Chains A and B, each alone.
Chain A
Amino acid sequence: MAIVVENLTKLYGSQKAVDNISFEIKTGEVVGFLGPNGAGKSTTMKMITCYMAPSQGSIRLDRFNASEQPEEIKKRIGYLPENNPLYTDMAIVDYLKFCAELQGVEKEQLSQRIRAMIELCGLTRERYKKIHALSKGYRQRVGLAQAMIHDPEILILDEPTTGLDPNQRIEIRKLIKELGKEKTVILSSHILPEVEATCDRILIINRGQIVADGSAVTLRQQAQGQELLELNIEASNGADVRAALLDLAPVETVQPVEDKQGFFRLQSKPDTSSRKAIFDLCVEKQWYLMEMRGIETRLEDVFRELTN
């Protein structure tokens, strides 16, 4: 099930929380919403899940329009809101039954769906416990279980791994990856490696606008622009390696790496590569090229550059 968002705007008073954004998410895509706090990620999710109406613009899920058929859309979406609100006075099984019934799961399938979700989210031992007696990690699992209880075509998860320990995070990541094979998943997170590990595509939102859209690799490449290399050259005759490197045609800048003898950080001119020229130079001067590796821009750097 594809999601088409067109010219979406949400005003909070005179402030634009979401400012005229448009994007399309295809069936089976796992998309990560990245952005600083208050960027408009949660507001966008709230509008897609029909919790609040947009001030302007439209949201469509295949043939359904959010403003005209919200109930049809809600049936097809599983949503884990930010901060994972739950009815803490209920036992897990009762809560999941309540959610399943509201989402229109057939009576005959109720117990089978509840059992499946309890197993999938690792809640078997706790299933009769009241939610208020659960730890944060288990509550998050209950939140995920309720989102998936009706086997929705689209899953929208607002910071699904908040409050989880590293092991639980890895488990949830695996689960999302697994779910992404057949479902459309949108998730938001502040943890960049997590988004990188789970999402096919990343939308970076800042001040209500989409500032970047693409896979982690594409975003890094876009941000990187020029080739960046780290070299380790052993020159026994005391030659000035830095000056020689700078004389090479494709090289733009060379900086020695602090506290590391023989290490240099080199940037090539736009759209050129210095790798071959460096290799040839070392052969000619009889230097030993101990190491040469490309430095990739981290997603953190892309994020900081785009949202600062």
Chain B
Amino acid sequence: MKSIWIITKREIASYFDSLIAYVMIVLFLGFSGFFTWLFGNHIFMINQASLQVFFSISYWTLFFFIPAITMRSLAEETRSGTIELLSTKAVSDPQIVSGKFLSCLLLVIVALGCTLPYYLTLLFLGKVDHGAVMGGYFGLVLLSAAYISIGIFASSLSNNQVVAFLLALTIGIFFHVLFDVMAASFTGVMGEILNYLSARAHFESISRGVLDSRDLIYFFSLAGMGLLLSQTMLSRRNWQG
């Protein structure tokens, strides 16, 4: 655990040193704030003291921002050769992947934490369903965890950051939209499977404040699977030429 935290600290410092963290947080706040408060179906338009609009916007903004954070995680290490340096220290491959995962997740949590003033503002506007707000934030964290692990897996497949970014979006779009769309065209077991694989239904359920074990299992297994595959790809040097 200590090694994971050491890697996490270095990664976070690197995000803030290279301005990635600031750019990501500012863009995230800018986009989500604009659509939550000023444009389209914003809070004043729907006339409800609810952050549902913010959660729906974040569902999309995080989908694009997370690959931008994760694309360098393993791709850059492989390209620059520092993976050899890291792997020959007293750490295992799962610890390296976990450290990278945790740093990205913490960065997203910081970005989400910066939107707390939205919640405080809402308290002045009317009666707030606190459970739904907490559920919404929790849903975003779970969704981010799943997409981060997909992003890290994509980053383990290539040593080019742009390729890693596009791969992460390509894999992510299936869970984000495509399974949902495909589910509508199928009936029976296939339709149910596709529906279960879609992130939207699970996210919407949690963001309404309903904690269902099926939703939790979905996000945890997606994140776990991504991390396992990333670690497997990282260890391929042991059996590949």
Using a CB-CB cutoff of 8 Å, which residues 55-93 of chain A contact chain B?
70-71, 74-75, 77, 79, 81, 83, 85-90
CB neighbours (8 Å) of A166 from chain B are: none
CB neighbours (8 Å) of A101 from chain B are: 6
B89 CB within 8 Å of chain A: yes
CB neighbours (8 Å) of A104 from chain B are: 90
Using a CB-CB cutoff of 8 Å, which residues 7-30 of chain A contact chain B?
11-13, 15, 17
Q: Compute how far the CA of A177 lies from the CA of B73 in the bound complex, rounded to whole angstroms.
A: 38
Contact between A81 and B88 (Cβ–Cβ < 8 Å)? yes
Contact of A86 among B3, B10, B85, B239 (CB under 8 A): B85
Q: Compute how far the CA of A52 lies from the CA of B237 in the bound complex, rounded to whole angstroms.
A: 6
* Nearest chain B residue, comparing its CB with the CB of A73: B90
Q: Compute how far the CA of A240 lies from the CA of B208 in the bound complex, rounded to whole angstroms.
A: 110
Contact of B17 among A53, A81, A89 (CB under 8 A): A89
Contact between B85 and A85 (Cβ–Cβ < 8 Å)? yes
Q: How far is the CB of A264 from chain B (nearest CB, A)?
A: 54
Using a CB-CB cutoff of 8 Å, which residues 74-94 of chain B contact chain A?
80-82, 84-92
Q: How far is the CB of A44 from chain B (nearest CB, A)?
A: 14
* Nearest chain A residue, comparing its CB with the CB of B7: A102
B14 CB within 8 Å of chain A: yes
Given contacts A87-B82, A102-B91, A103-B90, contact A12 B241 (CB under 8 A): yes
A side interface size, CB within 8 A: 33
Contact between B90 and A11 (Cβ–Cβ < 8 Å)? no
B187 CB within 8 Å of chain A: no
Q: Compute how far the CA of A46 lies from the CA of B241 in the bound complex, rounded to whole angstroms.
A: 13
Given contacts A81-B84, A86-B85, A102-B89, contact A52 B238 (CB under 8 A): yes
CB neighbours (8 Å) of A11 from chain B are: 241
A279 CB within 8 Å of chain B: no
**Mask: chain A, 197-228; 1 = CB below 8 Å from B; 0 = not:** 00000000000000000000000000000000
B47 CB within 8 Å of chain A: no
Contact between B6 and A98 (Cβ–Cβ < 8 Å)? yes
* Nearest chain A residue, comparing its CB with the CB of B238: A53
* Nearest chain A residue, comparing its CB with the CB of B87: A51
Q: How far is the CB of A245 from chain B (nearest CB, A)?
A: 57
Given contacts A12-B241, A52-B238, A102-B3, contact A71 B92 (CB under 8 A): yes
Dominant secondary structure of chain B at its interface with chain A: helix
Q: Compute how far the CA of A146 lies from the CA of B89 in the bound complex, rounded to whole angstroms.
A: 10
Contact between A87 and B90 (Cβ–Cβ < 8 Å)? no
B213 CB within 8 Å of chain A: no
Contact between B88 and A50 (Cβ–Cβ < 8 Å)? yes
Contact between B237 and A51 (Cβ–Cβ < 8 Å)? yes
CB neighbours (8 Å) of B14 from chain A are: 87, 89-90
Contact between B239 and A53 (Cβ–Cβ < 8 Å)? yes
Q: How far is the CB of A273 from chain B (nearest CB, A)?
A: 50
Q: Compute how far the CA of A266 lies from the CA of B91 in the bound complex, rounded to whole angstroms.
A: 60
* Nearest chain B residue, comparing its CB with the CB of A143: B85
Q: Compute how far the CA of A79 lies from the CA of B241 in the bound complex, rounded to whole angstroms.
A: 22
Q: Compute how far the CA of A183 lies from the CA of B136 in the bound complex, rounded to whole angstroms.
A: 57
Contact of A74 among B80, B82, B88, B238 (CB under 8 A): B88
B121 CB within 8 Å of chain A: no
A299 CB within 8 Å of chain B: no
* Nearest chain B residue, comparing its CB with the CB of A101: B6
**Mask: chain A, 258-297; 1 = CB below 8 Å from B; 0 = not:** 0000000000000000000000000000000000000000
Contact between B88 and A79 (Cβ–Cβ < 8 Å)? yes
Q: Compute how far the CA of A5 lies from the CA of B92 in the bound complex, rounded to whole angstroms.
A: 22
Q: Compute how far the CA of A255 lies from the CA of B89 in the bound complex, rounded to whole angstroms.
A: 58
Q: Compute how far the CA of A228 lies from the CA of B189 in the bound complex, rounded to whole angstroms.
A: 87
Given contacts A85-B82, A87-B10, contact A103 B89 (CB under 8 A): yes
CB neighbours (8 Å) of A90 from chain B are: 10, 13-14
Contact of B90 among A81, A86, A102 (CB under 8 A): A102
A99 CB within 8 Å of chain B: yes
Q: Compute how far the CA of A70 lies from the CA of B17 in the bound complex, rounded to whole angstroms.
A: 33
B185 CB within 8 Å of chain A: no
Contact between A99 and B89 (Cβ–Cβ < 8 Å)? yes
CB neighbours (8 Å) of A87 from chain B are: 10, 14, 82
* Nearest chain A residue, comparing its CB with the CB of B92: A71
A49 CB within 8 Å of chain B: yes
* Nearest chain A residue, comparing its CB with the CB of B239: A53
Contact between B81 and A83 (Cβ–Cβ < 8 Å)? yes
Among A15, A86, A87, A102, chain B packs the most CB atoms within 10 A around the CB of A102
Contact between B238 and A81 (Cβ–Cβ < 8 Å)? no
Contact between A77 and B88 (Cβ–Cβ < 8 Å)? yes
Among B18, B90, B237, chain A packs the most CB atoms within 10 A around the CB of B90
Q: A85-B80, A86-B82 are in contact. List 11 more A-B contacts (CB 8 A).
A: A13-B241, A17-B241, A70-B92, A98-B10, A99-B89, A101-B6, A102-B6, A102-B7, A102-B86, A102-B89, A102-B90
CB-defined A-B contacts under 8 Å, sample of 21: A12-B241, A46-B84, A51-B84, A51-B237, A52-B238, A53-B239, A71-B90, A71-B92, A77-B88, A79-B88, A85-B80, A85-B81, A85-B85, A86-B82, A89-B14, A89-B18, A98-B10, A99-B89, A102-B90, A102-B91, A103-B89
